Structure 1
Amino acid sequence: MHKDDTPVTARPAGDGPLTGLPQEVDEAWVSVRPDNGNVKRALLLSSPVVVLGAARVGLMMAQGRGTSEGSGSRGLVIGLLAVLFPFVWIGLLGALRWANAGIVLDEGVLTVRNRFNRRVLRAPVSALTGLHQVDLPIQGPHSTRIVITAHQARPVMIDPRTWDARGLAQLWHQLPVPLHDSGFLEWREVKQRFPKLRRPWHHVHYGLFVLLGTVGTLAYIALVVNLPFLL
């Protein structure tokens, strides 16, 4: 990979060099933070409708509806929580990812952690075998992913949209393997090329995922609408 003048975060002083690694790689220290911008924007855009819906359902459950006499303050609280719960859940998952997930290059070792602080990749840069940019059959305009491969390690798929763009650029600049454009791959081709890669179930089985999501959403809406009669 060609070197340029891209700034790189300096590794904290006091760490000694690692033997067997190029000096420039050993001295590099890059930390890539998650980017939850897409989730934040979606929550902010939907918040007025969600707040109004929560207030309506809460008041309906507090005051009663039809033959239901209402449940007072208890019904108000339950109604608010019933509508807000999915959005609070999404917000909590985003916060969990921000707190735990990360990609770090330190002392010549690349480490990737997910939202549950689970280490999904830890490999010395000398063991890396490739950075593969692939276009996948994913619904929507953002179908590009980066697959990181290494000797004796399970491949990891990175969604560039969900990570800090500047940090990723610094990371690709420092790794000793080039970013290779593998073009468009069907999921079966992805499995053939990266047999141990964990493929996102909701993308691989998109039709079934939409069906289950639709049924679950309708069932949840029906539950919320009929809560005044159930209390």
Structure 2
Amino acid sequence: MTPQEISFTNAFNANRPTLALFAKCTTKDELHIVRDTFFLGMASQLCPKEYESLRTSIITDPSKLTKHPKGLESMITAARASLGWKDLVDALHATADAVGSDLDDIWMTLEAGRLEWLGALNSAHPLKVILKDALKNDNERTKKDEVDAKMVWMYALSLSVPKLSEVSETWRKAVNMDDKMNPLKNYNVDLWDCRKDEWKLLDLGVQEAAERGGSSVNDAWEA
């Protein structure tokens, strides 16, 4: 590796904790706060001239990361308002380009995954409430009942993941579902068998969507 590549890699690794905050974002605005905090942290190590020109405008030291994107908002608002913000971002991208790294592509992969997962969670939330309430009010519920409920919810999640359109349609047919938007209509528990190959594909697809969104299916179900 060249000295430039080593410096870039070290800066990137040092700012990984900032990137990880994407998993705590609940809106696109929060995601962009995390993105710009990442850019600022990278620039503080790779573009000292541009960083120094706006450092006095920053309220919070970017190295002192908080545990939630909202805690970074004041710092980023101040940085964006600085006359040197554009120069800093341009200098950082030029440095990244010089070592063959596309920072925007790296970020957009995270942002797209998070927004897709949030959209799926929001769309499936009303059904999740119904399923959770049914379990809570069933004094004779079993572990299998919870597994069955979770399967219905996961199917609902899959409807909001474009990559899973064919997989979710295959499962709809496998369980004789008339209305894909209402999996509880004419629900037949015997057909909803998690051992079926069709389910394994849907299960894996939803798990992967959760990972792209910085979460897991189990964590989302328990939330």
Report the TM range for the smaller structure's normalisation.
Answer: under 0.3
Looking at secondary structure, tell me which structure has more strand per residue. 1
TM-score when scaled to structure 2? Answer: 0.27
Looking at secondary structure, tell me which structure has more helix per residue. 2
**Greater RCO, 1 or 2 (C-alpha within 8 Å, sep 6+):** 1
